[in-house]
Structure 1
Amino acid sequence: MKTDHWFYGLFQSAPDLITLLLPGAAATPRLGADAPGDSVYRFEAPELKAVNHRLDGLLWPRGIESGTSEQPVVLLEVQMQSTQEFKHRLAAQAFRFVQLHPQVQHLEVVVVVPNWQLRLGPSQLPHQLEAFLAGVHWLSLEELGRQPGLDPLVSLLTLPVLPKPDIRSATDRILKPRPDLVEAVLSILGERFPLLTREEIMALINLPTDHLRHTRLAQDWMAEGEARGRSAEAAVVALRQLSLVCGPMSEATTSRIQALPLEQLEALSEALLQFRGPADLTTWLAEHTG
């Protein structure tokens, strides 16, 4: 609008003018070049840059894009780690979503957290932000896991935060009525305990090995285990051959070779037949590894 520049100039000259437009005016605005230095407010007109927001989940009621009070559109966020910026980001995402989808009349914002101890923002927030957050549905997985008689799917959600001793009984309650959820259980536990072997996870949930062998995840685990075994054997052979050609190698070089995938170890075993000394190994590693 043409009047934008007029308003810009006016508020730039007398930023305290805003106090006369707010409830409970407490300052007398001054006009003139010397006013800004003595004013309560400082005026500027910044350009707010666009920020990309990726939602964790969005659930639309089928056939009702506006949502209803019984079946609202649900904006779902899962936050498992503390971060001081989360509450501000959540509000920005929600209002940006509403801006892009003006047809939505009923929106429910649901945030899943592991427990109530998570710190997701400063203790002091603008009251407008506090009002928005008061309407958010916060869900603690730790608290949820203590409720009796949970549906197997709801129990599945609690596996990432359940105390380790409680996992066996929880998986029993999930898999007895819903054996089809076994792969979901294994996937969650595989991510939660990345250092456990497949045998240790089998023992953790007390799942029969024969039953486990039929799951896709178990087959992937077994294939990975076999691949790691072949890589370890190939590394032993390659290091033995290299010691004859290059002499003693540093611990760093040895570890670097042991970390090579099977395909590169096989290629190295072929290439080292042409090596004349450690310089050739250094050149090969520089050319074939990052």
Structure 2
Amino acid sequence: MKTDAIFYEIFKELPNIFFEIIGKPDTNTNIYEFTAPEIKQTSFRLDGLFAPVAEFTNEPLYFAEVQFYKDEQFYDRLFTSIFLYFTQYQPPNPDWFAIVIYDTRSNERSYPQRYRSLLEPHLRRFYLDELDNAPDDSLGIGIVRLVIESKNKAGEFAKNLIDKAKEELTDTLIQRKVLEFIETIVVYKFPNLSRKEIETMLNLNILKETRVYQEAKAEGREEGREEGREEGREEGKEEGKLETKLKMIPIFLELGLTVQQIAERLELDIEEVRKFLEDI
């Protein structure tokens, strides 16, 4: 699953979810603008940045990074990107936090001691599989947990979230966005299902062909093509082995072996050997 894309869309459209994850649900999200700034002349790009709008420069910056695999150089790139951002953009904000969201604690590399001075004041780490301790009635946390939910539970979990969204969200625009996010996450988890099948699974009919939806389907198609190529390679290998065995039949025949002996020696069905001999 391309987690960067889905989390970017979630934080962009529903920023309250980000602040709920980091334990600051009362934050006024209207004073923040969420972007994914590019660090020029390098290969670095930040996953996301919550930067206060111009009237609130005393509020902190939140650098949001989503990390779902172990990367030994992750913290090097993270802090390099942040300090390059400071150099290029010169933000006036006096404080900042690096927020790293892991799917599970096992995907975090050991923290480099060279950055120990940044650990306590600036780095905050959160683990989605440990959000079970969050309130059960939290719709936002539920949406994020759906990302890491197992496939055999994801369908039912998504339907519960949909029911909760319909019950709690009175603003029809926000409700629709939430429902679309839930469906999109399910698309990522089941890329081989058709749009109609997913809508049937969730009892919904609102899924749009958004960029995120298209990326999910493209990812699924590519995986399918790769599986097909792998199957094709395996089939080709088997065909090659069979062709080699068939070429050996006349040689064994000249050596005086019977059809049954040839079949046993080459591990072929006796009818295959007979058919080959009839055709030559």
What is the TM-score when the length of structure 2 is the normalising length?
0.50
Task: Give TM-score scaled by structure 1 length.
Answer: 0.48
Q: Which has the larger radius of gyration?
A: 1
- The structure with the largest helix share of the pair is 2
